[in-house]
Amino acid sequence: MHRKQNLKMKKVDLSHLEQYSRLLRYVFQVTHKELMKSGWDEEEIVRAKSPVLEQADVIGWFDGDELISQVATYPFQVRIFSQTYDMGGVTGVGTFPEYSGQGLMNRLLLQALTNMRERNQSISYLYPYSIPYYRRKGWEIISDKIVFEVQDYQLPKNRPVPGDVSRVDPESEDVIRAYERYSLITHGAMLRNDLAWSEYWRWDSDDLMAAVYYSEDGEPSGYILYWIEDEVFHVKDMIFIDEEARSGLWNFISAHFSMISKVTGNIHTDEQLSFLLEDADIKESISPYYMARIVDIEQFIAKYPFKPDITEREWTFTLNDPLLSWNQGTFTLQIDKNGKGSITRSTKQNEDSISIQTMTTMLLGYKRPEYLRKIGRIKCAPETLDLLEDAIEQHTPYFSDFF
């Protein structure tokens, strides 16, 4: 075993790019089975996990001059119930196996989360190569991916709409504008800056095409990103701000009836496509997609919009966090009549308890308080459960990005 005193944690920069990439390639070979289980192609994952070092906070362990463990954090933003949060996007996680078992990644993640807290990134997202591993570090599932397959004879009939669809360059301003409008009104969505868009497009082929739905007043209200191969219409992503745009985009897909045998693609919300089609007997499969964790409970609650009520509400509970001391202990959550929350440390006696993982998935709306209490993830009295059910909005997060 390598002695810890020979190891040093420090920032990884562009001078370490070759070592950074080499470590990623090795680690993803080790976790090939996990990657294949996740439904992603290994080569795609490896390429997508090559961030631009000058734009990310990358830290690592060095054995002398050799980089042997690393983690990167991207500076992103997400919308959570109409509020904009700074988010730390974790990626590029890996350690050479001969250095495993020494707690190196645990200390790297702790430092990365500490850095996020200092930058007021009170929430962190990541794509998990191992859900159990990241659950042990405080992350929890907050979004799903639904893969669908619609046969040509199941395509919806044309539905008249006042706007129209035009094919455009995938990286056109109208695609960016349509997503911007959509993300501002969609819970959980990334607000894509230049870095986020770069990651979003990074490994798409030249065959990718785009079509934008324009409302009657000419505003881009949705888009579909797609490619056609071997008589299959593949949907990379499809967003729309209203039912009109959704119908217009499906009109566009159905117009390919004579060219294709089926349509396949991804949905990143809990709205099942089958319910919306006249022939609902389509194939759909659901799998967990992204995970998140609250980095600083006090920072997060300070911006969080609870539902207003005629009375003020209060909950005292014990919060458990496997890594972060500032999220560990007894707290009192106070919510005023307008839905403004604040949380402070408390010395009150209480029997209620919740983990940071459960708090994250509950406050982001992926799972409801009633269900979480039912399966033993929240310990609280029935009246507290009613308080939480009434105070938290009922929307599951949408997240279609990958980094």
Q: What is the CATH number of the domain that holds 135?
A: 3.40.630.30
Residue 8: pLDDT band (50, 70, 90) is: very high
Q: Which domain holds residue 111?
A: 4-141
Assess if residue 401 is contained within a domain. no
Assess if residue 137 is contained within a domain. yes
Is the domain of 210 the same as that of 249? Answer: yes
pLDDT reported for residue 3:
57
Assess if residue 396 is contained within a domain. no
Q: Give the percent of the chain with pLDDT over 90.
A: 79
Is the domain of 89 the same as that of 171? Answer: no
Is the domain of 56 the same as that of 25? Answer: yes
pLDDT reported for residue 38:
47
Overall pTM surpassing 0.95 (yes/no)? no
Domain boundary among 124, 141, 158: 141
pLDDT reported for residue 47:
53
How many domains in the chain? Answer: 3
Strand partners, 355: 320
Is the domain of 372 the same as that of 282? Answer: no
Domain boundary among 98, 120, 141: 141
Is the domain of 221 the same as that of 329? Answer: no
Q: Average model confidence (pLDDT) for the chain?
A: 92
pLDDT reported for residue 403:
87
Assess if residue 61 is contained within a domain. yes
Stretch 163-179: mean pLDDT: 97
Assess if residue 397 is contained within a domain. no
Stretch 176-187: mean pLDDT: 97
User: Is residue 358 scored above 60 in pLDDT?
Assistant: yes
Residue type at 250? W
Is the domain of 300 the same as that of 279? Answer: no
pLDDT reported for residue 35:
46
Is the domain of 181 the same as that of 194? Answer: yes
pLDDT reported for residue 30:
46
User: End-to-end alpha-carbon separation of the chain, Å?
Assistant: 33
Assess if residue 402 is contained within a domain. no
Assess if residue 403 is contained within a domain. no
Stretch 246-269: mean pLDDT: 94
Q: Per-residue DSSP letters for 129-198? A: S-HHHHHHTT-EE--EEEEEEEEGGGSPPP---SSEEEEE-TTSHHHHHHHHHHHHTSTT-B---HHHHH
User: Is residue 183 scored above 70 in pLDDT?
Assistant: yes
pLDDT reported for residue 221:
98
Domain boundary among 112, 141, 170: 141
